[in-house]
Chains A and B, each alone.
Chain A
Amino acid sequence: MSIIQQNLSIFNKLGFKNSPVGVKFLFRKPEGLKRLDKQLALCEMMKETQQRDEPFYADLDNLACKPSAYVWGHEISEIYKSGLFGVGLQAFKEARANQKIYQYVQRLAPGTVNYMAFSPLDKLPFEPDILLILADDTTQVEIILRGLVYTDGEMWSSEMTSVLGCSWLFAYPFVTGKVNYMTTGLSMGMKSKKVFPEGKQLISIPYNWLPTITRNLNEMEWVLPAYAVPDLREFIAKIYHDMGLTPS
């Protein structure tokens, strides 16, 4: 097991019902991995990984979802981008609203990613480009995202669009290097496919943030004293005192 995998094992301590999933974007076919034997949408590939015990890879022919193909960097018929498809779905009143989505949506650079490899955290045979987590509750989310701010004071930012939700899970964090999270049930495609239970947070951590977050998860208190003390006012007053302040 590589050093990075040992570091990532801290995520197992959160006791997720479904394993975190590592994803790698590849130009060349990965060696030693089996090809996915069915067609799925990108979001469903994450779920498929959680349900399998071994890593796999997928190529474009494994994709069962046109929006996913666009996010993956493949061309799709212009009529989709015209916005008429979104109107047909009744997601938008007019095509112009759907068209605007394409200003925001990040996609993998066309021609650069021919394969995607997926693996449950415990079986990772590669250093992931992104780590995807389906949290069971807000407490887990709070701990992971606090792992982002503990040493860096980052602002939390969740970005998504009502369609093409996979872009914000797969492409946006990889392309921008920013951690993203989104609430399941807010994005139309995933909601209609019932891929994940509603009201959970999906967190996507790009490789550049993994060292910081894993180090902080190893170091910081997972349950802050402020959440557990019997008297919050007394606890705050003690901090004021330590800072040389009189409570006011």
Chain B
Amino acid sequence: MDSIKRELSIFNKFNFERPPVGVKFLFNRPEGVERLGKDTSFCGMLKEAQLGKGPFYAEPQQQSCKPGAYVWGAESQKVFESGLFGVGLKVFKDARADIRIHQHVKRLDKNIVRYISFSPLDQLSFDPDLLIVMTDSTSQAEIILRAMTYTTGEKISSKMTFVMGCSWILVYPYLTGQVNYVISGMGSGIKANKVFPPGREIISMPYNWLPTITRNLREMEWVLPLYTEQTAKVIQKIKAELGLQGS
């Protein structure tokens, strides 16, 4: 555990306004971790941990949000899946548009994931399945996402649906192994509940990406020469080194 905390401690160098949050999906009740003392939404649980509460765990019945419960694998009344709820919210014109959302959204199996633990980074007591970072500025997001591409050339993708935004922060990265980021203020539930300040990048990194990203954050330049020096000068210097002078 100490080595994981040490590995992830590089994120502290960003001095985020709200700390990164580790999340773990569990079949067995976690030991030595308190149960969350209230019912709230998925995004509300993430906010609790960001605000320093933790570590804690939650169970499916603590979901106060129907879409959040659905994402955690609860069977919903079919009228929700029919799309009529989205029409009632005026999010969709017709039920048929809302129905399509269910093709995209990833869900947990509540019989397999019976508990979810959350913890702010500095209090982590488990090896996280996800590390979720809310950045204060695009520069921070640029550095983290560049750390993903620095040794891999990976594409930077953001997947999201207008409703059930929690699926794209918590479930999609866990089940697919893909890093995902969403912009706060663009999903209806999170926006309506005013959970996060708008316009921030929320980056969700699954465990399989953490060794690469943390290693690259330690190795690479956080501020590229191109951002601080005269662009033309930097480019000319590289061209000269590559034997491309004048082209």
Contact = CB atoms under 8 A, between A and B. Distances in A.
Does A pair with B?
Answer: yes
Interface of A: 77, 79, 84-85, 88-94, 96-101, 104, 137-139, 141-142, 145-146, 149-162, 183-186, 188, 191-193, 198-199, 201, 216, 219-221, 224-227, 232, 239, 242-245
B155 A104 contact: yes
A90 to B, nearest CB: 5
A84 B239 CA distance: 10
Interface stretch (B8-16, B52-60, B112-120, B136-144): B136-144
Interface stretch (B20-28, B121-129, B225-233): B225-233
A199 B137 contact: yes
Nearest to B193: A232
Given A154-B100, A155-B159, A224 B192 contact: yes
B50 interface: no
Contact of A150 (B93, B145, B146): B93
Nearest to B227: A192
18 contacts: A77-B244, A77-B247, A85-B238, A89-B238, A90-B221, A104-B155, A146-B91, A153-B99, A156-B186, A158-B159, A162-B156, A186-B138, A186-B145, A188-B226, A199-B199, A224-B89, A226-B188, A244-B79
Contacts of B201: 183
B6 interface: no
Interface string B143-159: 00110011111111111
A152 B90 contact: no
B90 A97 contact: no
A152, A157, A192, A245, most chain B CB atoms within 10 A: A192
A187 B182 CA distance: 16
Contacts of B192: 224, 226-227, 232
Contacts of B225: 89-90
Nearest to A152: B97
Contacts of B2: none
B211 to A, nearest CB: 14
Interface in B217-247: 219-221, 224-227, 231, 234, 237-238, 241-244, 247
B205 interface: no
Contact of B91 (A79, A97, A150): A150
Classify chain B's interface size: 35 or more
Contact of B141 (A161, A183, A232): A183
Nearest to A145: B186
B91 A224 contact: yes
B131 interface: no
B101 interface: yes
Contacts of A239: 85, 88-89
B98 interface: yes
Contacts of B145: 162, 186
Contacts of A193: 231
A89 B227 CA distance: 10
A100 B162 contact: no
A69 to B, nearest CB: 11
A6 B238 CA distance: 48
A216 B227 contact: no
A41 to B, nearest CB: 10
Contact of B149 (A77, A161, A183, A244): A161
B183 interface: yes
B198, B221, B243, most chain A CB atoms within 10 A: B198
A137 B159 CA distance: 19
A1 B163 CA distance: 37
B186 A141 contact: yes
Interface in B69-116: 77, 79, 84-85, 88-94, 96-101, 104
Contacts of A91: 146, 149-150, 224
Contacts of A77: 244, 247
A184 B138 contact: yes
B92 A149 contact: yes
A68 B203 CA distance: 28
B30 interface: no
Given A101-B153, A145-B162, A79 B244 contact: yes
Contact of B94 (A98, A151, A158, A161): A151
